Amino acid sequence: MRRELSERGLVRHGLSGVAVVLFLAVLAMLAPSIAVAAPLSSVRDNQTQAVYSYANAIRQSVWVDTGLTASGKPGGHVRVAADIIRPSELDGKAKIPVIMEASPYYSCCGRGNENQVKQYDANGNIVSFPLYYDNYFVPRGYAVVLVDLAGTNRSQGCVDTGGPEDITSATSVINWLNGRGTAYTSVTGATTATAYWSDGSVGMIGKSWDGTIAEGVASTGIVGLKTIVPESAISSWYNYFRMNGAPLARETPGQLSTYVEDPDTVTACASVAAGIDAGSPDNGDYTSMYAARNYAANASRVKASVFLTHGANDYNVLTDDFGQWWSALPPTVHKQIWLSQTGHVDPFDFRRGAFVDELHRWFDHYLMGIDNGVQLDPQAAIERTPDHWVTYPTWPIPGTVSTTLWMSPGATSGVGTLGPQGSVPASSASFTDNPNNSDDEWSADPSATDADRLVYSTGPLAHATTVSGTTRITLTVTPSASQARLSAVLVDYGSTTMRNYNDGTEGILTLTTQSCFGESTPQDSACYLDTAPDTETVTTDVFDRGWADLGHYQSLTSQQTLTPGKPYTMTFTLNTTDHTVPAGHTLALIIGGTDNGYINPPAGTPTLKIDLTRSSITLPLSGF
């Protein structure tokens, strides 16, 4: 439009059409020698545009003083490395916001579906940033800052698996970006660096451990953090290693720290790892070590907005993590949630184009201050069938009612009904823990007696029913031994085509084609392999699971030794979910002992008798 007005103006001032063409041709030849000032704002049409050069962006590294000391750095303060990329056109002319990801994975394991790591040239200069944030957002006027958590990659210190040193690694960088901290141009040098280019507004993002740090930092209420985008994040590290007192079948917290640690610091940091493990006893107690890593407990301090994503079938970072975080956020926080059918998968790989678009709008609003209406978007988007998404104004979804159902015995031993009758005849049912079997075996034939589980079913549902939120179960149990584990799983019986989250792909297939998001350099491509749903058709879908240690019936902080033959009542939660059981399908509850592959077994194989008159399950149901 401006070119059109200029040509009309030239004609109006007496130049013929031919002269105009010649005049514009001369300008075109002179253009390369004319310095054209880059715009100070990338905002047009109510969103940031890619107007700055990615190839010419400033790439730098600083080491931020955390104020911490650690066995990995005798004497002095721990410094953490922050690699930065920002538009050169704005240097010294405008202050800009920061998109930040703090991670332990930049050298050991990589980020994203293609396991990208940071890459440096022979002089130690950063030349490749993992993921697409830099390629896409730097041309739009953002800085991207990738922080190595203490003890990882080029940072000093020790990894403490979500503890104070992890969180301080990130808060120290935010403080520096806001003029409240000190950074250096090298890991041991005395030359300082200032963030003169930062406007102090920070948005944190990341999947898994990275998103976990974002939640931990937000729970401090730090000034300058405007928004977080946690993807499959941990809100309490107790949930990662334990559930309701039951030890999950995975490595210890100390082993996890050494897995991501810089190999050169593992030996020096061995005492730190041992200290973490000392705070994680095998009996499943909730200790002070875990309390220091429970961000949901401090969610009332959160001021940043939250755009949360999670796989509803994620059994790496369990869904109770997002459930308790979501519920604990204060009402003053704007929050949004996307739940996929996948396992532990980045939203970039299960809803790529839509996610980048929404992320763009989200950061534009909360970091650039653009009034684009993203805060008015539906609060929830749920993947109901592969690649089919439904939005809702609130979550749990509208119409959800806390509904208590009871278990009644049937004609077949160990098999009964599940319904809202309110009371059942005096009865009980028993099973014996078999640590070799899992819920796959338990759910295989719901109409038959099985010595190591009980099953209670609604029968075919008259209406589609959604379980939206966190289910709670109360069981009165008499054990035959001094230790016992409990499992409760929900099953959808009926033909369903779903993402194959049990596969090693977690519900996605990686294709050979690529799609690009942003600008590239020879060292840092903006193009990534496409994905598609990995689907399967099943007639049995175990869509929710929960586990507990009966010895924690009184409290998670102290396991009790059980008295054989004495009844105990315990209430515990299942993982948070949002799953629709279609009309005609059957909803079933299965109760068992050790769920093989998910939790560790107790000593021995106890027999457990359930008092059905004193047991019930309360589900968040819509449409029941």
Query: Which ranges of 198-265 would DSSP assign to H, the alpha helix?
Result: 209-218, 237-241, 253-260
pLDDT of residue 301: 98
Separation of CA 53 from chain center: 31
pLDDT of residue 422: 66
pLDDT of residue 71: 57
Give 83's Cβ-side CA count (13 Å radius). 23
DSSP codes of every residue in 414-479? TEEEEE--S---S-EEEEE--TT--HHHHTS-TTS-BTTEEEEEEEE-SS-EEEEE--EEEEEEEE
pLDDT per residue as tens digits for the range 412-429: 999 999 999 766 677 999
Distance CA 51, CA 34 (A): 18
pLDDT of residue 35: 40
- Identity (one letter) of the amino acid at 333? V
Distance CA 404, CA 620 (A): 9
Asked if residues 223 and 181 have their Cβ atoms less than 8 Å apart, the reply is no
Distance CA 547, CA 489 (A): 9
DSSP codes of every residue in 544-586? EEEEEEGGGSS-TTSPPPP-TT--EEEEEEPPPEEEEE-TT-E
Answer yes or no: 208 catalytic. Answer: yes
**Beta-bridge partners for 591:** 454, 488
Q: Please list, in sequence order, all residues whose beta carbon lies within 8 angstroms of the beta carbon of residue 414, skipping any fewer than 6 positions away.
A: 429, 431, 449, 450, 451, 453, 454, 455
Q: Please list, in sequence order, all residues whose beta carbon lies within 8 angstroms of the beta carbon of residue 183, skipping any fewer than 6 positions away.
A: 62, 63, 64, 65, 82, 176, 192, 193, 194, 195
pLDDT of residue 425: 74
Catalytic residue among 148, 314, 364, 549: 314
pLDDT of residue 24: 32
pLDDT of residue 503: 79
User: Exposure pattern of 199-214 as b/e (b: 16+ CB <10 Å)?
Assistant: bbbbbbbbbbbbbbbb
DSSP codes of every residue in 242-257? EETTEEBSS--HHHHH
pLDDT of residue 423: 60
Residue 387: name the closest of 575, 502, 531 by CA.
Answer: 531
Helices and strands of the chain, counted as H and E runs: 12, 33
Catalytic residue among 42, 198, 208, 257: 208
Burial class (CB in 10 A: 0-12, 13-18, 19+), 607: middle
pTM: 0.92
Distance CA 277, CA 289 (A): 9
Q: Which domains does the chain have, with CATH numbers?
A: 2-36 (no CATH), 58-392 (3.40.50.1820), 402-622 (2.60.120.260)
pLDDT per residue as tens digits for the range 114-160: 999 999 999 999 999 999 999 999 999 999 999 999 999 999 999 99
In this prediction, the residues of the chain whose per-residue pLDDT falls under 70 are 1-38, 70-75, 422-424
Distance CA 54, CA 144 (A): 12
The two beta strands, 401-409 and 225-231, are unpaired
Catalytic residue among 83, 169, 344, 360: 344
pLDDT of residue 426: 79
pLDDT of residue 76: 80
Answer yes or no: 277 catalytic. Answer: no
pLDDT of residue 66: 96
Asked if residues 486 and 475 have their Cβ atoms less than 8 Å apart, the reply is yes
